[in-house]
Structure formats: structure tokens, C-alpha cells
Chain A
Amino acid sequence: MFETNFTVIDMQIVLAYLALTVAIGMLVNRHVHNASDYLVGGRSAGASLSIASFIGTGLGLVTLMYASLEGFNNGFSYLFVPVLGLAATLVLGATGWVIAPLRKLRLTTIPEYFQHRYNRRTRIVAGFICALAGILNMGLFPKMGAIFITYATGLGGLSDDAEVTVNAITTILIVLVLLYTTLGGMVAVLVTDYMQFVVLSLGMGLGLWFCFTRQDLGWENMVSVWSDHRGEAAFNPAHADSYGWQFIIWMAILTTTAAIAWAPEASRALTTTSPRTSRRMFFWGAPGFFARMAIPGLWGIAAFVFISQDATMVEYFADDAHASHAMPLMLGKIMPVGILGLLVAGLLAAFMSTHDSYLLAWSAVISQDIIGPLTPRGKLSDRQSILVTRVSVVAIGVFLLVWGVWYKLPDSVWTYMAVTGTVYLSGAATALIGGMYWRRASSTGALMCLLGGLAAIPVLFIEKLQRLAAGVSLDDTEPLTKAQAAALEVVKVWLNNPTAALAVYGLCVVLFIAGSLLFPDKHDVTATGATP
């Protein structure tokens, strides 16, 4: 069942591509002359390169995996998420809201804004929460990537314990990424993002082509199978059996706040040659934001249809834990030799590109926003910055290795990522937007709302919270009485991931306003860099 079309030719394509990527990452090191070059590419990236890098950063293998998983589980309804991503980036690019003033300030990291607008303490707290949420968020990336490689290449059937293969691949990939990220910094990130954009545009286009042109898949067939299986819920995201309105509102807020404050993507606005280029990057990069989530979503939708035609696979995928294997297995079976190698190489590049961007973004936050401000001079020298960033990259890499091997994947990877993102975004985006557009915003208000975002951490254990609220045992293996099951169902209506996350966003806004009004700053706001 696990055999795919992956052959020696495909393996050669993948190895050649990997070797090329690592070599380029190492070679560009000679163009890095100072910390600005290392952290923000010397602010020398033009609009087209910025667009490619912006899309490349967001187009990670983990994005493809969670998007396909959502498509596989929810059908066409999932497409509302890419539509929201498209709308958010188009509006930000057209208006320049937040992103243009950020670039104008010539910052190196997003939390640096908090010192610029508020004070050093706020920057350190923002940096700490940003790095904590970001590294936790990234914790699932290696494993998801390794699962794709394992099942798309047919390695899943090599041994009785596919987990061993997954862990071995995770280790190899992380070591490769660490090699060229520590050496080349942002310049290496920009180059590899561009390469990835080239290969993946082609690979994703071909992947779609093979989905739509096969007789057993195709648009009509996909629509018909999903329609029979789930009815309106497969197409209407607001339907009671689909995501529902609360989830849609959460996603609208999350995609917008992520675009302006999530370090790996928002930091792209800092690498461009001018504020105008940042706006153009967001506006023209918007279709990429859509495609990076819509195409794998469609693969997931197609994988469901593909599997529904084979009794052995239907039995295997009846276990929800296997859902993440569906899309890679389908691609491995429908893509021809050679093209499969190209696609796997592109997706491996996607894996590495996201890792290098994220590693660099969180390491830059650690060096610039936590360690730097804590030194007697208040900042690190160029040499120290690069050294601390490199050490942080390696430290995070080691954490990812341990986490990737030991951590068990949750049922919904997307929800896990959205919740960990909310830990930082709920507070940071509020303090960022408020700081820019509300003169009375104060450092105490900013600190309170940043800390308020930590209230999202318990949401990671929402099932336990629901059981606690319903007054039933926390042990989910224990059978429930009819009354307990009914009580738990009632609790789930008002206490779930979207309602809890929205409540955290609301809490942050309230804390920010109350803190700012009750404890105003004594100094002049404009003198500390309030922007129009």
C-alpha cells in the first residue's frame, strides 16, 4: 500500500538539489559584511526578490501538510482560510497600514519597535514572548516535513516502525538547514527562498495538473464525492458541521495580525529597499499567500477522493492518526517518475526555506531583543550580534531535534499552530497597532497586553479545560455516563479553541486600553517614535 512512483532518478534529482542549496547558502557568506547584512540582507532586496522570498517563507512544507490535512478533513470549506490570507495581504499592501511605518523606522526585528515606541522593558518582554511562541509554534515543523518525505517517497513501508524513518529524516534535514543558516544569514535565506519559489511554482502547478486531469480525480469527481460524503458542510465554512462563524472570525483576526506582527513573515517588510517596496511586496505577493494554502488544500481534498476508491486505504485511513499521510501518499502514487523527484526536491526546499527563515527570525529576536538590551551598552556589537544569533540558531535547532523526535502530533496541527501564534500575536499586534495609531498608548498598557497573550497557553490543553469545566474526570480513557457526556457537549459549545482564542484577543485589547488610560507614560510620545 505504501509503494509510490519514487525511483533512483527522483532520488538523484533530490540529492542534487539539496547539495546545490547548501552550497549556495555557504557561498553567499562572503557577501555578508556586517550584522545588517546578516539579519536583514543589508535592506537591499528589490520588490520581485522580496515577493519571491515573502511567498517562499510562508510556503513551508509544514504549511502544505497542515493545509492538506484541513482539506482532507473539511473539504472545500477549508478554502475560506486562503481567501482570508489573500484579503489581509491585499489590504495591507494597498494601504501600507502598519507595514510601511515599520519599514520606515529601519528596525531589525519587530519587538525592536516596542523599545522605540515604549521602553526597553517592553521590548525584552515582547522578545521573550515572541521567541517562546515562535519556537513552540515551530516545534511541529520537522516532524511534519519528515512525514511528507517518508510517505511521498515510499519509505514508509521500509520498516515495521515508520517512526524510526521519520526521525532519521528529521535529523538529517535539521542538520542541513543549520549548516547554511548559521553561515549565510538573511542573504542565504533570500537566495534559497528565490530558488524554492522557482521550483515550487512549477512543482505545485504540476501537482494540480495531475490531480485535475486524472479520470478518477478531476473537479467534477471531487465535488461529487465530497457532496455525497458531507453535503453542504463540505462547501460552506459557516455550516454547523464545518468550521462555524467563531472559527472564521478567529482566522480573520489571526491572518491579519500574523501578516503585521509574526516575525518570519513581517520581518520581510524590514528587508526591502524602501517602505514603498514593502507595500508592493505585500500587495503583489497576496496571490502567493492564497496559493500556498489553497493548492495543498486541494491536494488534501483530492487525496480524500483518491483514498475513497481503495478499500485497503479506506481501512488504513479510518484511523484519524493516519490522516497526515494521505496527501504525500497520493502525490507519490499519481506523479510520474522525474516529476515526483522535482516536486519532492521543491518541497524539501520549502522545508529548508521555512526553517532557515524561522530560525533566523527567532534567533534575531533572542540576540537583538532579549540579550542585546540586557547588556550594559544596551545593544550588541556587529560581531557579537552575529555570534549570538548563530549560537541561538544552533540552540533552537537542537531543541527542534529533541522536540521533533519525542513530541506526538496533535489531531489538528493547524489549530495547534494557530493557538501558539495567538500567544504572541494577541498581545503584540494590539500593542503594535495601538502604539502606531493611538497617542495615549502607554508602556504599561503594552506590557499588560503582551503578558495577557500568555493566557492563550492553557488553550493548548483545551480538552482538559473542557473536561474540568464539565466536572468530569481529566482521564479521557475513563468512560463517561450519559449525563457527563451531555454536560461535556454543552461545555464544548462555549469553550473551544476559537472562543478561547477570541477571548484572549479581547482580554489583550481591554488590558491595553485600561493600562494605557490608568498608567499613562510621562514622556512625550512623539519623541519616542510614535508614527503617523
Chain B
Amino acid sequence: MIDIDTWIEIWKWVLIIGLGSFFLLAIVVLPLGARDLVRLFRRLDDPSRPSDDEAD
């Protein structure tokens, strides 16, 4: 059986690791996501883009 103090420690570390990873991810995704948005518009407006059936 896990006692109450161990549960508190578990949640503390789960939050540190989980939320720490999220904010790190946010720092990386913010600039790269903006770059992807620019590429998305370029690709959508590209007249030589293959049709949905031809791509991949």
C-alpha cells in the first residue's frame, strides 16, 4: 500500500516532469509552428501542387 506522503511525492514529480516537458515543448513549437504556417500557405497557393489523389 502506498501511504499519503508517497502519493504527495508522486504527484509532485509527475507535475514537475509533465508540466516541465510541456513548457519546453511550447518554447520549441512556437517558432517552428510559425515557420510551418508560412510553408502551409506557400504550399496551398502553389499551382504545381499535386492533387490529393496524387500526393504521397
Contacts and interface: CB of A to CB of B under 8 A. Distances in A.
Contacts of A33: 44
Contacts of A262: none
Nearest to A82: B18
B27 to A, nearest CB: 9
Given A231-B4, A232-B4, A47 B36 contact: yes
Most chain A beta-carbon neighbours within 10 Å: one of B7, B33, B41: B33
A106 B39 CA distance: 20
B4 A235 contact: yes
A298 B15 contact: yes
Interface in B1-40: 2-4, 7-8, 11-12, 14-15, 18-19, 21-26, 28-30, 32-37, 39-40
Nearest to A50: B36
Interface in A279-327: 284-285, 287-288, 290-291, 294-295, 298
A49 B15 contact: no
Give the interface size class of chain B.
35 or more
A190 interface: yes
Given A44-B39, A187-B40, A235-B8, A106 B33 contact: no
A294 B37 contact: no
A287 B22 contact: yes
Contacts, number: 121
Nearest to B25: A287
Contacts of A298: 15
B56 A49 contact: no
B26 to A, nearest CB: 4
Contacts of A197: 26, 29-30, 33
A36 B15 contact: no
A79 B11 CA distance: 8
A232 B21 CA distance: 28
A509 interface: no
Contacts of A274: 56
Given A287-B21, A295-B19, A201 B49 contact: no
Interface in A170-213: 187, 190-191, 194, 197-198, 201, 205, 208
A74 to B, nearest CB: 12
B15 A294 contact: yes
Contacts of B26: 197, 201
A285 B33 CA distance: 13
A294 B2 CA distance: 22
A45 interface: yes
Given A47-B36, A190-B37, A290 B22 contact: yes
Contacts of A82: 18
A41 interface: yes
Contacts of A190: 37, 40
Contacts of B53: 106
B25 A36 contact: no
A46 B15 contact: no
Contacts of B8: 76, 223, 227, 235
A120 interface: no
A47 B28 CA distance: 11
B45 to A, nearest CB: 6
Contacts of B51: 36
Nearest to A83: B14
Contact of B55 (A34, A43, A194): A43
Contact of B23 (A205, A223, A235): A205
Contacts of A191: 37
Contacts of A48: 28-29, 32-33, 35-36
Contacts of B41: 28, 31
Most chain B beta-carbon neighbours within 10 Å: one of A46, A190, A284: A46
Contacts of A31: 41, 44-45
B2 to A, nearest CB: 7
B37 A32 contact: no
Contact of A37 (B23, B29, B30, B44): B44
A51 B7 contact: no
A389 B51 CA distance: 20
A86 interface: yes
B37 A194 contact: yes
B1 to A, nearest CB: 9
Contacts of B30: 197-198, 201
A41 B43 CA distance: 10
27 contacts: A36-B51, A36-B52, A42-B40, A42-B49, A46-B36, A48-B28, A49-B36, A49-B37, A49-B40, A51-B33, A52-B33, A79-B11, A79-B14, A106-B56, A194-B33, A197-B33, A198-B30, A201-B22, A205-B23, A227-B4, A284-B25, A287-B21, A287-B22, A287-B25, A288-B22, A288-B25, A291-B22
Given A49-B40, A106-B55, A290-B21, 20 more contacts: A42-B43, A42-B49, A43-B55, A47-B32, A48-B32, A48-B33, A49-B37, A51-B29, A79-B11, A79-B14, A104-B56, A201-B23, A223-B8, A227-B8, A285-B25, A287-B19, A287-B24, A288-B25, A291-B19, A291-B22
Q: Which 10 A-B pairs have the closest CB atoms?
A: A49-B36, A48-B32, A46-B36, A235-B7, A291-B22, A287-B21, A201-B26, A287-B22, A36-B52, A44-B43
